[in-house]
Amino acid sequence: MMATGICAYSAFTHRWGEFVPKGYRGREKTERLHMLISPEELEAIDQWQHSNRVGTRSDAVRRLVRIGLIFNIHADEFRRVTRDLINLMHEQMLGKQSISELRVPIGWAMQLITVGQLMHAERKLRQTGNLETALEEAEKELVKARELIFESRKSGSKPVRARDVTSEFV
């Protein structure tokens, strides 16, 4: 009986003939997070979970935390770029220019592309749940948008139209 127990234990400690220390078996260690959530917040999490087809509530909370962390990194830049763009559009509209002819300076266009990249990454993260895939897709969109701006610069250094830059991400 004793020998059988040792053999069964050794079967769990070996992978393809290698000894794996007990602390390194299975999934990575995670931490429990005990927190109280209001009924309104819990209902919002459940609605988000069902609308994004997430299996469990804990997985929904994990994904929402990832989305929040991604946004938080660039939140100040997002607010500044949005405020600058609104001010620019307001100034141009006071000049009675057509909305289709609004122009965005190259620096702001690059910042808008960055914001668009974040929005695209967040959308892909909701769809797939895989952060790496979401960032790779967003990087591809960023490259496309940058090529559009550089082509515009080469053709005569004219500022890029706002609709050309943001149409990729809306």
Q: pLDDT-based confidence at 143, cuts 50/70/90?
A: confident
CA distance 162 to 166: 6
What are the extents of the domains in the chain? 2-166
Top-confidence residue, 3 or 151:
151
Read off the amino acid at residue 14.
H
pLDDT band at 46 (very low <50, low <70, confident <90, very high): very high
Residue 15: the pLDDT is: 47
- Residue written as tokens 């819990």? 42
Question: What pLDDT, in 10s, does the model give residues 55-104?
Answer: 899 888 988 888 888 778 777 777 777 777 677 666 666 665 555 555 65
**Residue 149 pLDDT:** 66
Q: Quick one: pLDDT at residue 168?
A: 39
Summarize pLDDT for 121-133 with one digit per residue, the tens: 777 777 776 667 7
The model carries a pTM of 0.41
Which of these, 114, 155, 103, lies nearest to 122 by C-alpha position?
Answer: 114
Residue of 95 and 166 predicted with greater confidence: 95
Token output for 48: 């988000």
Give residue-wise pLDDT tens across range 6-34. Answer: 444 444 444 455 666 666 656 666 778 88
Annotate the chain with three-state secondary structure.
CHHHHHHHHHHHHEECCEECCHHHCCCCCCCCCCCCCCHHHHHHHHHHHHHCCCCCHHHHHHHHHHHHHHHHHHHHHHHHHHHHHHHHHHHHHHCCCCHHHCEECHHHHHHHHHHHHHHHHHHHHHHHCCHHHHHHHHHHHHHHHHHHHHHHHHCCCCCEEHHHHHCCCC
